[in-house]
Structures are given as structure tokens and as C-alpha cells.
Amino acid sequence: MTTGTMIYEGKAKRIFTTGNPDQVLQYFKDDATAFNAQKRGTILDKGIINNKISERLFRLLEQNGVPTHFVERQSDREMLTKKVAIVPVEVVVRNVVAGSLAKRLGLKEGDLIQPALIEWYYKNDALGDPLIADEHVRLLKLATPEQLVEIKRLALKVNSLLQPFFLERRMILVDFKLEFGMHNGQLILADEISPDTCRFWDQTTKESMDKDRFRKDLGKIEEAYQEVLRRVCG
């Protein structure tokens, strides 16, 4: 049960203070948005599912040397995390051509990307989270060159751990978004890892198992999220 003061509300989560100034409580909502919040809706139990999946994946990453903000899952919808100062650069790791990459570059959706491609996006809702280059990051002073190097290293390590994890569960990790933050001088992984932030395809059917089902009105959205939860958490 949330008790502290709400200090932030985003599209998918609310953040609350705790008795520990070094920690916050994330509350996962069922609200769904797409196209920079131009499309809005609700995915039943999405918050519960994303919280449980994120816990499983954060634990996996921590066990393999990736520092994260995860402390513990406190309830179905609540996760206790370290308090971070978010670096306003969203990191997208792409293993397969899909979504905006196919549209921007005229590439064939489904083609493999080897090695994985990393893109930076300016975390700014008013501007629609635009795609940016390293030089833009420096121009806007969003992160230091050293931080960008470390973010890229960690993002590729996350990819190297998650790709085989999902393949074992008959899932293709097409692409995914990560956010990082500073905690006591250390750069660590933050936010969540879920069907909201990842693009998953079933290995056999190539059917979407993520928020694309909401974006594209494909139907069976809740069923897809439940199936990811079943495969990830058992």
C-alpha cells in the first residue's frame, strides 16, 4: 500500500517518497499510451504484469553484474527502488528491423541487425522524444561523453543477457528501450523492462507480444501481456 508523498506521475507509473530518503516507491498503473500520448487507453492488470516481469529481469541483470535501481517488489503493483537522477536520454537497442527504424530508413521489417544498433532519444515529451546523435547530447548537456560510453556498454551487456534469456522462452527480443540514472555517483539502470518498453515476437509465429498490439489495434492485448508474464516468470 502506497504511503509516502507522490513526487512524480508519468504515463505508466507514479513515484512516491518513502521513509528512506535514498529510496522511492514505484506504483505501476494500467494506463496505456502510444504516439507520444496521442492514443490513450487501459490494459487490464498491465501494472501488475510489468512489475513482476521487471522484478524478474532486474534480478537476472543484477546477478550478472548490471547495476540497477531495483531493491524489492513490495506488492503486486509496487516496487521499491533506489532514488536516481534520470539521465534524460532514452536508449533504444535494436536487434531486428521494426517500427520507426523501418519507416525512417525504408528497411524491411524483420531483417536482422548485426551487430545490435543503439540509438539515443531526447527524453522530452514536449518535443516528442526526438532521435538525437552524440553531438546533440553534448550540445544539450544531457550526459557527459564518459556517461554515454558507459551507457552504451551497459546497454549492450543488457542485450547480451536478455537475448538468450528470451530465446529460451521462444521469444525474439526485437528491440527495447532503457533508461539510466545517477545514484550516489554511479550510473545504474532504472525505469522498467516489460512489454511496454520491449518489442517481443513469438519465435514461431512472429506475432507481436507487446504494446504494439495496443498501438496497432491488433486485439488480444491482455492475453499477450499475460503470456509474456507466463513465459518470463513461470
Res 34: pLDDT: 83
How far is 83 from 25, CA to CA, in rounded Å?
9
User: Given this model, what pLDDT does residue 39 score?
Assistant: 81
Give the confidence band of 56 by pLDDT, cuts at 50, 70, 90.
very high
Specify the pLDDT at position 2.
57
Domains of the chain, earliest start first: 6-82 (3.30.200.20), 85-221 (3.30.470.20)
Residue 35: the pLDDT is 79
Residue 195's closest CA among 210, 207, 208, 175?
210
pLDDT tens column, 129-186:
999 999 999 999 999 999 999 999 999 999 999 999 999 999 999 999 999 999 999 9
pLDDT at 1 over 90: no
Let me know: does 213 contact 220? Beta carbons within 8 Å: yes
Other beta carbons within 10 Å of 171: 22
Residue 61 CA: distances (Å) to CA of 106, 155, 158, 173: 34, 11, 7, 15
- 51 C-beta neighbours (distance < 10 Å), count: 22
Q: What is the pLDDT of residues 191-231, one digit of tens each?
A: 999 999 999 999 999 999 999 999 999 999 999 999 999 99
pLDDT digit string (tens) for 78-135? 999 999 999 999 999 999 999 999 999 999 999 999 999 999 999 999 999 999 999 9
